[in-house]
Amino acid sequence: MNIATTEDLYQSLIMDRARSPRHAGRLDEFDAEAEGDNPMCGDRVHVRLRREGGKIGILCHETRGCAICISAADLMGDAAIGKADTEIHDLADAFEAMIVTGVIPDRLDFLDLRALAGVHAYRSRHRCATLPWQALRAAIGKTMELRHG
């Protein structure tokens, strides 16, 4: 009997989300959108979101890039839905800190994002994992401009 390690399970999750992302697609009706681009490796992310009751109700991404970028965008969708802007910024800060340090935050809302903690060991891949979050922050910023502008 072969017992999978946590690392094996996380690698499996990353590859599964890269091959079959659950939040991939295009929203026809959305409140905000933004793009992220990493010309160094060719990753490109387009995030669209729709709000429901002041929180993200639906988030879709169109991501072209490596498995890390695609899976990060998709796992971000799981974590972001149902959260308000301040919660998103807090979660993004925690995720970006994990990518830099490798230390997994002790948070209930971190869900499967911990699968990407190993990226910290590959500095050249940090941007692959954080690019979707940067696009989401930009989309939220545009939503704020629309509300206050």
Q: Which amino acid is at 145?
A: E
Residue 45 phi/psi, 5-degree rounding, is -130, 135
Per-residue model confidence (pLDDT) at position 145: 55
Residues 149 and 142: their CA atoms lie apart, in Å, by 10
Mean pLDDT of 50-77: 97
Which CATH class name applies to 6-148?
Answer: alpha beta
What's the pLDDT score for residue 1? 45
Q: Which two tokens mark 102? A: 């490798």
Task: Please tell me the chain's helix, strand, coil percentages from 3-state DSSP, rounded to the nearest 5.
Answer: 55, 20, 25
Residue-range domain boundaries for the chain: 6-148
Q: What is the separation of C-alpha 112 from the centre of its chain, rounded to a whole number of angstroms?
A: 11
